[in-house]
Amino acid sequence: MRRAVFTCLLLALVGAPSALAHGRTATVALDYRLTLDAPSAALTGVHLRILDGDRALQVTADPGVAVLIRGVLREPLLRIDDTGVWANAASPTATADKVVAPGRSGWVRLSTGRTISWHEHRLQPPRVSTPGPAGRFVIPVEVSGRATTVGGSFERVARPSGVVWLLCAAMTAVGLAGLVRARRGLRDLVVVILGTGGGAAALIAVTTFAARDAPTGGVSWLQIGSGVVIGAVLVVLLLRSAGRRRVHVAGVIGAIAVAASLGSLPVFWHGNVISALPGTAARIMCLVAIVAGGIAAVLSFIGDSPTPHASQRQRANAPRLRGGRT
């Protein structure tokens, strides 16, 4: 039983951070927010979404509606009609945005559906340092032969105060350390509470990020499912353990929470958090996961065995037997 528990904990500690980490192209926080204009959002038969942390544009056309998207030079770039989604290989924008592979020619069919998502360089905001409106973007399109535009605005979002969040983390850590030092008998209970609390906060953070930061616009169900499965396994191990073993399990949960949350650190220095939670709530979840999980991981392996001096004192104070009598 002990070997099985140790093996499960080792596998969880090694595999959980990579399973819960954000994808390489996913974004958790930015300095800018992009907003579509009301006329663009209300185009008849066309549905628009800004994805992947405001770096990609998704266009969906209803059945019977044809959409032509023009490039930077106003050349035909993409076409959506009843035959599918097509890209113009001769378009410089298609090459720059890597919509089609080099060496292709003519119109290349990308899919038989009616939705296309691509990295649109015209969604790159201008460099400004003052919070507030930061410019506009305009993409010319044709909807069933009618010329129009897809437009929107850039907004520079004020950055959070990193000093405030750092002070919150430091004060929390100092307070918990003082509690453990003053009430040593509560240390194991504190470790279990911190480990499970940090793990729960990390799972909430990972889930809410995965619900919003998928580059394709969908929900990262694999990441969410991995988090739920790993969390369930760790909870079972925690409930089936007792004594110091339970404390160690809680410490491993805390370590996993820290490792899974390191990729979310940009939320503390960027204003626009790409999460299903409000920005402040997402930052609180990450802070709890890192601080509580880290403290639990450290404390869980302190005091497992007496020090050499303590062992010597115990032997010195032990009753000595003489002739079978104490």
Write the pLDDT tens digit of every residue in 242-279: 888 888 899 999 999 999 999 899 999 999 998 889 99
Q: Is residue 22 domain-shared with residue 168, that is, in the same domain?
A: yes
pLDDT attached to residue 18: 47
User: Are the C-beta atoms of 65 and 78 separated by less than 8 Å?
Assistant: no
Burial class (CB in 10 A: 0-12, 13-18, 19+), 90: middle
Structure confidence at residue 26 as a pLDDT band (50, 70, 90):
low
Domain-located, residue 326: no
Residue 210 lies in a domain: yes
Q: What angle do CA 286, 290, 294 make, to 5 degrees?
A: 165
- Last residue of one domain, picked from the residues 156, 177, 201: 156
Domain match, 117 and 163 both: no
Residues pairing with 50 in the sheet = 57
Over range 58-81, report the average pLDDT: 96
Q: Are residues 37 and 148 in the same domain?
A: yes
The pair of structure tokens assigned to 56 is 């990609």
Q: Are 183 and 55 found together in one domain?
A: no
Q: Which residue has the higher pLDDT, 181 or 49?
A: 49
Look-up of token digits 């911190």: 194
Note down the domain range covering 101: 32-156
Q: Indicate if 299 and 169 belong to the same structural domain.
A: yes
- The number of folded domains in the chain is 2
Is 169 found in the same domain as 229?
Answer: yes
Does a structural domain hold residue 224?
yes
Six-digit token string for 4: 């099985």
For residues 110 and 54, state if they share a domain: yes
CB-count burial class (<10 Å; 0-12, 13-18, 19+) for 158: exposed
Structure tokens at 294: 């880290």
DSSP-derived letter for residue 212 is T
Q: Residue 125: is its pLDDT beyond 80?
A: yes
Confidence of residue 218 (pLDDT cuts 50, 70, 90): low
35-39, 170-174, 280-284: which has the minimum mean pLDDT? Answer: 170-174
Q: 18, 7, 54: which is closest to 35 by C-alpha?
A: 54
Q: Rounded to an integer, what distance in angstroms lies between the CA atom of residue 167 and that of residue 299?
A: 21
Query: Which whole number is the average pLDDT over 4-15?
Result: 49
Q: Do 21 and 84 belong together in one domain?
A: no
Is 86 strand, coil or helix?
A: strand
Asked if 90 and 166 sit in the same domain, the reply is no
Q: What is the pTM of this model?
A: 0.72
Residues 148 and 191 in one domain: no
Pairwise CA distance, residues 80 & 88, whole Å: 12
Cα–Cα distance measured from residue 8 to residue 212, given in angstroms and rounded to the nearest whole number = 30
Same-domain check for residues 152 and 164: no
The verdict on 77 and 92 lying in the same domain is: yes
* More confident call, 150 vs 24: 150
Backbone torsions φ then ψ of 242, nearest 5 degrees: -150, 160
Query: Is the model's pLDDT at 11 over the cut of 60?
Result: no
